[in-house]
Amino acid sequence: MNNRVPAAAIEIIALTKRYGQGKPAVDNINLRIASGSYCCLLGPSGCGKSTTLRMIAGHELASEGDILLENRNITDLPAAQRGTAMMFQSFALFPHLSALDNVAFSLKMKGMRKAERMAQAQDLLDRVAMGQLADRKPAELSGGQQQRVALARALITKPKVLLLDEPLSALDPFLRIQMRAELRRWQKELGLTFIHVTHSQEEAMALADTMVVMNHGVIEQVGSPYEVYNCPASEFVARFMGGHNVIETATGKVGVRTDQLQVVPAADAKANAEHNKMALITDVEYQGTYVLLGLQNPGTSVTASTTAEISVMLSESTFTQRPYAVGETVQLQWRADAAHPLPH
Ligand code: ADP
Ligand code: MG
């Protein structure tokens, strides 16, 4: 073993899932997830996130490949023997059971004596600051309190890895942002490995130490939110993360962030500027702290159905100094180091 590589909680080796003929739902993926890290699997609907998570959980059998948990091969073990636990969408608490009975439920299924399982469940509820409310039913708890009960219920089996499949997506936006901050705090406090599936870039950016961007059953990029946002590895990642333009240049395609394009009035355009493109403004959207310009190739006739090809984010003060209008032709310029080559 190489000592400099941090211990992997989960190692996925050449993992494939086929449901039938055609392209596999998960197609030969390889991934190491560091112990004690928050990992988000991110990608559009149908890209294979849940299938990957379910294979780790043992709710779905792998067609090929291996899954190791702390160097133990768990690929074919029953779910209960893996050292993983799952937290589901909207927490999926039993409505007719108290918080304490919800948490103790899986110990009951294992045949543990009542006094012992209640003591363990109470301990965990105390740990997530829910000890005082152990007798309440889910409907008598706030969203945040329900999430903590669901967390305690998942942790009762002492998992090494907690698996979360879109746990926040059914919540209203306000609660979702509160709950994700709380999930992140619990993950750090407990020091556990979390693997969280989401289709929301914003959620993954807010939560993840490591983001795994998937598309069509394969991994497009693995990296920190900073790395993925600043240096998307492919056209797909650049478009999916948003905030980027994919620009054709003489030497190929590059990605440039919307806030790293400068706009120069046509009269001041420099034909010899190294990285530039002439463009026609088709949209001007005021957004408060910034103004979003939509642009197209020069010569496009602008109608209601014109969609912008390039977006530029100007600070409000930049825009106020030199306002631009729809129909104006401008030159876009960018620094060489702001452009990232995008292989297909
Ligand atoms: P995601 O969670 O990223 O939205 P899934 O992992 O659920 O995607 O699905 C990946 C692909 O596998 C999709 O094309 C989906 O239709 C297919 N799929 C998922 N579960 C099954 C199943 N039980 N039987 C057949 N096809 C499935
Ligand atoms: Mg899914």
pLDDT in tens, 97-119: 999 999 999 898 889 999 999 99
Q: Are residues 47 and 106 in the same domain?
A: no
Pair (253, 328) in one structural domain:
yes
Tokens of residue 323, six digits: 């306002």
Beta-bridged to residue 196, according to DSSP, are 40, 164
Domain boundary among 112, 130, 158: 158
167 and 305, same domain (yes or no): no
Count how many residues are written for the chain. 344
- Mean pLDDT is highest, among 84-88, 177-181, 222-226, for 222-226
- Asked which of 141, 158, 175 is the last residue of a domain, the reply is 158
What are the CA-CA distances from residue 137 to residues 4, 87, 115, 142, 148 (Å)?
48, 18, 20, 11, 13
Q: How much of the chain is in helix, strand and coil states, percent to nearest 5?
A: 30, 30, 35
Number of domain units in the chain: 3
Do residue 146 and residue 168 come from a single domain? no
pLDDT on residue 3: 54
19 Cα to the center of ligand 1, angstroms: 8
Evaluate whether residue 91 is within a structural domain.
Answer: no
Question: Which of 188, 220, 237 represents a domain boundary (last residue)?
Answer: 237
Residue numbers of the domain that contains 148: 101-158
Tell me phi and psi for residue 31, to 5 degrees: -160, 140
Does 67 reside within a domain? yes
What integer best gives the mean pLDDT of the chain?
Answer: 92
Mutate to test the pocket of ligand 1, among 17, 18, 19 (most ligand atoms within 8 A of CB): 19
Kindly state whether residues 76 and 175 are assigned to the same domain.
yes
Instruction: Quote the pLDDT of residue 252.
Output: 82
Whether 1 is covered by a domain: the verdict is no
Task: Indicate which residue's Cα is closest to atom 16 of ligand 1.
Answer: 46
pLDDT band at 171 (very low <50, low <70, confident <90, very high): confident
The answer to whether residue 174 sits within a structural domain is yes
Residues 262 and 312 occupy one common structural domain: yes
Distance between CA atoms of residues 305 and 327, nearest Å: 15
Judge if the beta carbon of residue 26 lies within 6 A of ligand 1.
no
Residue 58 is assigned to a structural domain of this protein: yes
User: 151 with 165, same domain?
Assistant: no
Which residue is closest in CA terms to ligand 1's atom 26?
Answer: 19
51 lines ligand 1 (CB under 6 A): yes
Domain harbouring 298, CATH code: 2.40.50.100
> What distance in angstroms lies between residue 146's CA and the mean position of ligand 1's atoms?
28
pTM of the entire predicted model? 0.90
Q: Identify whether 14 is part of a domain.
A: yes
